[in-house]
Amino acid sequence: MTTSIEQSDLELWKDARPRTLIARIISGLITFGRRKPLGAFGGILLFIPIILSTFGPGLNLGIVTVPRLTQDSEDYTLGEGVLEGPSSSHIMGRDTLGRDYFARIVEGGRLSFIIGWGVFALSSVISTTLTIVSAYFIRSLDLILQRGIEIVGFLPELILLVAIFSIYGATPITLIVTLGLLRGFNSSRILRSLVIQVRAMPYIEAAHMIGATNVRVIARHILPQVGFLIIVTATNGLAQAVLVESGLAIIGFGLDPNYPTLGNLLNGSRQFLRTAPYLALFPGLVIFMLLLGSRLLGDALRDVLDPRQRGSGR
Amino acid sequence: MTKSYWNSVLANRISRRRALAVTGGTALGSALLIACGSGGEDGGGLEVGSERAPGSVFFERDNYALKDTSKEAVPDGVHTTPIEDNSTEAFDPYLTVDPTSDRIRDHAYEYLMRANRGPGIQPGTPEYATMVGNLSDNLEIADDGLQFAFHLRPNVKFHDLPPVSGRVMDIEDWRLSLDRYLEIATNSPAFKADVDHVTTPDANTMIFHLKAPSASLLNRLADYNYAPTIMPKELAADPELAKTQMIGTNFYVLDNYQPSVTREWRRFDEYWDGKPFIARWHEPIIPEYANRYSQFIAQRIQSFTPEPREVFQVRSDAPQAILIGNMLNLTSAYRMFFGKQEIETVPWRDRRVRIAMQRAVDWPAVNKFAANYDKFQAEGIEVELVDGTHVPPDPLYHLNPWKGELGKDSENYIYDLAAVKQLLEAAGYPDGFDIDMLFNAGRTGQPPQATLDFWNTYTRYYDQTNGLVRVNPVHLTRQEFFDRVVYAADFKGIQMSQPSSGTDVDYLLFRNYSSKYHLTAFPDPELDRIIDAQREAFDPQERAEYIKDFQRYQAKEFYILPGQGRWNTFEFQWDWVRNVMYRGQNFEGRHKEWLIADMPNRDG
Amino acid sequence: MLDYTIRRVALLVPTVIVGSVILFLALRLLPPKDFVEQHFIANSPDLVLSDPGLLDRQRKELGIYGPLHEQYFRWMSGFITGDWGKSLVSQRPISEELVHRIPVSFELSFIGLFFTWVISFPLGVIAAVRQDRPADYVLRTSAYALDALPSFVLGIFLLTFLAVNFRWAPPLTYSNLWDDPIRHAGIMLLPTLVIAVSSSGDLIRLTRTFLLEVLRQDYIRTARSKGLPEHTVLLRHAMRNIALPFITIIGFQLPLLLTSSVILENLFSLPGMGRYLVSAAASLDYPVVMTTTMFFGIVILVTQLITDLSYAWLDPRVSYAKGA
């Protein structure tokens, strides 16, 4: 029966080509999950804290409600529940004032993630612009920029941050700007070699011959090729920012003391390792999750997206 | 004619019994047997009320009840105490920039006088409040109180290090030290505000010429933040040498100094007050809490200060260690003072508003929480807790409003939300008022978590006043804080609860309340009169009366809010040290300590 | 080849200079108050109040006066000639203080690196050789897990754990290698192990990847087809060829270790450069901060240079292909 065959063909064809963007994204994710289960697991590890923190305290997920941040005075009574361990009503226990620890971690993660995204945004913009400008446009500028990049590279992150914090104070903006600049410059090196490679490809030349403007060539051909690297760096960058921030907190240069960032929480828990080890355990666990998740996800993404990699099985 | 200080004290000498009656014998608790007769400085006759023994709980306020055991002393040994600081330090005694350097300096260099400490000298008594000779063996104060004449103690030797090489101290050392101190010392500004100039009329005497009579100066002659130490003339003349060599008169001689690692001192055999028993003192620098903890458990260091809420855990980890309740600071108090900006128009120009702010916070509850009082009580340990008033908790003059000792005005200190509402209505602010509260968030803007948590415990009370007292916390870095708050009080609002410093209550009263200093937002000639009177009263009893007047006055006016109170901090020590009751304000008296024979690592 | 070396070394000079300018500007251009004022107000405000000439005197002594470029020249020329100025806090020459601390940090990094390799290399080889078998999966998983564990978290937990459960604490104070080698070993043991464990994750995976890549090569197949036993194939043919990439890795890792030692030095009370910097920054001792940061930067630059050069020297292919 021709009609039924045609119809079923049609349906098959429809199934094979999901049309809406959202459908495409979802099917992409599913495929990714199937091909790279480890990466998908990493993605989950990475995004659970992010989502929890973004939608923050008060979020009701049906099974579990994220309690409101107890910086507000009504939410704790002086002397009650101090340093209580994890229990059914407070799944991560309570801190030295009796505040719910889970709420504090969720709230604290927010600032860490804002910093992480901020650093990513800033560094991506810087590295992309720098690379494109130097590698694509002006050779002479390229040389100077290369030197500049090498130089900035020699300033080590943690050291520089300590120095800068002592002068400007430890604020998120300072952290974002410094890390963004440093990372932007550093990643532009890798980007640059990639851009040069791609630029040398015949089809770029062909595009130019047809009359495509530089902008169009960059946007349609070059950026997609290097885009994956930016994405991979992003996934790493987020967790790295958290790591840097907590490292700084440990040596006494943490951010806004009022804010329960993961680093601040970790730092404040060192004295209690005997009586309340969970105070250090949970922030440590979250950091661990973030780092592990971002690493797994990043590696998987690189395998999938990098056109050059031959899947050597990392 | 000069009036000898000793004479004046002896003439008004109160027997110990009366002293206790005056102070009410309260707040100090432990059952002690009062010796009949004197039995003062030499320590005989007092029964030991409580003991330092392995596993015991002991309060430092009871140090005086310990017996002198010098006769059984076992010489030599190494005493190891951990140091937490991470900063680098200066050796020049006059160019110290922070308390760390001051402490290091006080190992090697000595002051002219020292606090009176030893067996039988109980805190809160006039004896305890007196100063006795150190490098000076006599002090005479002129009748008009404007001249302090110090007498050179003979045969005091400097350390046996070149170029001084164990020489005897003479008046030239004193003269050059004071000259240099007045000229360049970082801690001298307050001193110079009181002392006009110094003369040395003969080979045994040095005279401070004061600008105004001051009992406070007398009491601060061993204050590391205020008074001069004596350095040898060779170092005074050669600042470069002074930066690299510590050569003083004290019984500690610097023997090994590794920055960020350790400081080690050996005993000075020729010390003027007798050869110390202990051979060496080691101070390893251990910034990390976990590390200090493990070193203490491993019995490599003699003392350890735990996180207050970890006390009982550590006690179970180290049951043989003594749990020691540190001495309350009797010369400083916490206060929250108001800024001068716009003081004519702000709500807190009215005393009712200020009292309302005080009554909005349940300070005893805050203090108890911070002191972990209930937990200690459950374990049978009575923490010494004194809620904050306008003066330090010295039993000699302290009046406790929570016990009604300030009469009708006592209620002004007590938590009562209904009263807050009434007061604000009466003052014309039925809808409440806003106020900025400034916090010193440390050098880099990050105070320790414990500090932050503590601030939280009292600011939350303001949040619970139904919007009547609307406090807006403002966190400043240390520089900003000093600029705006400590220097010039150039802010609008109130500052956080912070302790005054200095080893005499006058520091607190003068700087915070007197119109002659630039801090107070509420200048008041009547108050100035009281403050000046207490400063000029050399007799501790008389002075105590003035300070009580001051308290009664402030109970009505509340120019400053008292803030938090005082309570014991606790530390653990292994029971290896004897004769600790001679300890003065700095390191005085520790040369009489000795180490028991069977302690681990006795030789370091 | 020599050409290339000379060029790279020569490039070092302008790099350092431009870098120092950037550092100088970053720390001096924008702050609201100059750091002399900041330091003294924070540490001895009374003194500043009572002695108005103090700040200017200190500025003169430290060279912080005049227009910015003059200050830079003064500082830089001092730096080059070895006159690194005095610490504001201890009043002692910075060079003196730094000299004792440099070997400690280096030792920590080198030995840490060494242990990392000792742990990771064999494990990576095993993972590569037993690819896709259980051992491989276990190792790779552990590698990921180790990677995600920050060194300071590990350090804190380890210290407490050892103290509580074994009553063991590291030696109380630091002693140099030549003063007391055994005690010194006891001191360095814990921190270097912590470094090794937390850095090994990455290295295990990298070793595995590189080795796998090498094992895919034709010459390996040739060696195998010649009938050579597997371990000879591995040792004689494979290993030699992965030497090169590993040099680059060392080049990467060393600076990373050096800077992360900042945290570990604090934790384990080691008197190294990182701790010096942190305590100086905390007490607003800006001369020390600037000099130490500069020094760190130079060390890292030199390390990178040496790595690049050794890479170039060892691999003839690279030196020809390598441009500027």
Residue-by-residue DSSP string for B293-310: HHHHHTTSSSEE---GGG
Answer yes or no: is A214 within a domain. Answer: yes
Q: State the smallest CA–CA distance between residue A83 and chain B in angstroms.
A: 9
Q: Residue A131: its pLDDT value, please?
A: 75
Residues B379 and B502 in one domain: yes
The total number of structural domains that make up chain A: 1
C-alpha span between C219 and C207 (Å, rounded): 19
Residues B85 and B196 in one domain: yes
Question: Is the pLDDT at B363 greater than 80, yes or no?
Answer: yes
- Count of C-beta atoms within a 10 Å radius of residue B30: 12
Q: Are C137 and C308 in contact (CB under 8 A)?
A: no
Among the partner-chain residues B307, B448, B452, the one whose CB lies closest to the CB of A272 is B307
C-alpha span between B596 and B576 (Å, rounded): 5
Q: Are C213 and A309 in contact (CB under 8 A)?
A: no
The total number of structural domains that make up chain B: 2
Q: State the smallest CA–CA distance between residue B164 and chain A in angstroms.
A: 41
Would you call C97 an interface residue with chain B, using a CB distance cutoff of 8 Å? yes
Per-residue pLDDT band for B2 (boundaries 50, 70, 90) equals: very low
What residue numbers bound the domain in which B173 lies?
7-308+571-595
Q: Residue A14: its pLDDT value, please?
A: 56
**CB atoms C46 and B444 under 8 Å:** no
What residue numbers bound the domain in which A155 lies?
35-60+96-309
C-alpha span between B383 and B567 (Å, rounded): 7
Answer yes or no: is B577 within a domain. Answer: yes
Residues B175 and B203 in one domain: yes
Answer yes or no: is A1 within a domain. Answer: no
Among the partner-chain residues A153, A246, A312, the one whose CB lies closest to the CB of C213 is A312
Answer yes or no: is A180 within a domain. Answer: yes
Q: Residue B446: its pLDDT value, please?
A: 64
Would you call B300 an interface residue with chain C, using a CB distance cutoff of 8 Å? yes
Answer yes or no: is B251 within a domain. Answer: yes
Longest alpha-carbon distance in chain B: 74
Q: Are C108 and C191 in contact (CB under 8 A)?
A: yes
Tell me how far CA of residue C267 lies from CA of A285, B100, C152, C157, in angstroms.
20, 20, 8, 11
| Pick from A44-58, A139-153, A164-178, B503-517: least confident | A139-153
Q: Is B120 exposed, middle or buried (0-12, 13-18, 19+ CB in 10 A)?
A: buried
φ, ψ at A10 (rounded to 5°): -55, -45
**CB atoms B293 and A97 under 8 Å:** no
Q: Which of residues 260-319 of C touch B (CB under 8 A)?
A: 266-269, 271, 275-276, 278-285, 288
C-alpha span between B296 and B299 (Å, rounded): 5
Residues B259 and B379 in one domain: no
Would you call A278 an interface residue with chain C, using a CB distance cutoff of 8 Å? no
Q: Which of residues 122-141 of C touch B (CB under 8 A)?
A: none
CATH code at B257? 3.40.190.10
**CB atoms C153 and A266 under 8 Å:** yes
Answer yes or no: is A8 within a domain. Answer: no
Tell me how far CA of residue B101 lies from CA of A164, B90, B263, in angstroms.
26, 6, 12
Answer yes or no: is A292 within a domain. Answer: yes
Would you call A150 an interface residue with chain C, using a CB distance cutoff of 8 Å? yes
Answer yes or no: is B500 within a domain. Answer: yes
Tokens of B430: 């039925």
Nearest one of B393, B389, B387, B388 to B329, comparing CA atoms: B393
- CB pairs < 8 Å spanning A and C: 139
Residues B424 and B467 in one domain: yes
Give B549-568 pLDDT, tens digit per residue: 999 999 999 999 999 999 98
Name B470's bridge partners: B434
Residues B575 and B552 in one domain: no
CATH code at A286? 1.10.3720.10
Peptide bond into B163 cis (omega under 30): yes
Per-residue pLDDT band for B273 (boundaries 50, 70, 90) equals: very high
Nearest one of A117, A148, B483, A161 to C14, comparing CA atoms: A148
Per-residue pLDDT band for B109 (boundaries 50, 70, 90) equals: very high
Among the partner-chain residues B187, B298, B486, the one whose CB lies closest to the CB of C167 is B298
Residues of B in contact with A73 (CB under 8 A): 460-461, 463-464
Would you call A259 an interface residue with chain B, using a CB distance cutoff of 8 Å? no
Q: What is the DSSP letter of B153?
A: P
Nearest one of A285, A280, A284, A279 to A95, comparing CA atoms: A279
ipTM: 0.80
Amino acid at C277: L
Give A286-302 pLDDT, tens digit per residue: 989 988 888 888 888 87
Give B204-226 pLDDT, tens digit per residue: 999 999 998 888 898 899 998 89
Enumerate residues 6+ apart whose C-beta is below 8 A from B86: B260, B285, B287, C266, C275, C278, C279, C282
CATH code at B417? 3.10.105.10
Q: Residue B12: its pLDDT value, please?
A: 37
Each residue's pLDDT, cut to its tens digit, for chain C (324 residues) gives 678 788 888 878 877 887 788 778 877 776 656 777 777 776 666 677 667 787 888 788 777 777 778 888 888 888 888 888 888 777 778 888 888 888 888 889 888 888 988 888 888 888 888 877 888 888 888 888 888 888 888 888 888 788 777 777 788 778 777 778 888 888 888 899 999 998 888 888 888 888 887 777 777 777 778 877 777 777 776 666 676 677 777 777 777 787 778 888 888 888 888 888 888 887 778 888 888 888 888 888 888 788 777 777 766 554 444 444
Residues of A in contact with C286 (CB under 8 A): 166-167
Answer yes or no: is A15 within a domain. Answer: no
Nearest one of C181, C198, C196, C189 to C162, comparing CA atoms: C189
* DSSP-derived secondary structure for C121-190: HHHHHHHHHTTTSHHHHHHHHHHHHHHTS-HHHHHHHHHHHHHHHH-----SS---TTT-HHHHHHHHHH
| Pick from B100-109, B247-256, C276-285: least confident | C276-285
Give A68-112 pLDDT, tens digit per residue: 444 444 456 777 777 777 877 778 888 888 888 888 888 778 778
Q: Residue C316: its pLDDT value, please?
A: 57
Residue of A nearest to B451 (CA): A257
Domain limits, CATH 1.10.3720.10, in chain C: 94-314
C-alpha span between C260 and C256 (Å, rounded): 6
Answer yes or no: is B512 within a domain. Answer: yes
| Pick from A304-308, B181-185, B598-602: least confident | A304-308
Tokens of B180: 């240099």
Residues B476 and B526 in one domain: yes
Residues B223 and B100 in one domain: yes
Tokens of C171: 């030696």
Residues of A in contact with B307 (CB under 8 A): 271-272
Helix (H, G, I), strand (E, B) or coil at B114: strand
Q: Residue B588: its pLDDT value, please?
A: 92
| CATH homologous superfamily of C94-314 | MetI-like (1.10.3720.10)
Q: Residue B451: its pLDDT value, please?
A: 81
Residues B143 and B267 in one domain: yes
Outline where chain C has alpha helix (H).
2-28, 35-43, 45-50, 54-62, 68-81, 94-129, 134-147, 151-166, 181-215, 218-225, 230-232, 239-267, 273-282, 286-314, 316-321
pTM: 0.82
Residues B18 and B161 in one domain: yes
Give B18-71 pLDDT, tens digit per residue: 322 223 333 222 222 222 223 333 333 222 336 788 888 999 999 999 989 999
Answer yes or no: is A73 within a domain. Answer: no
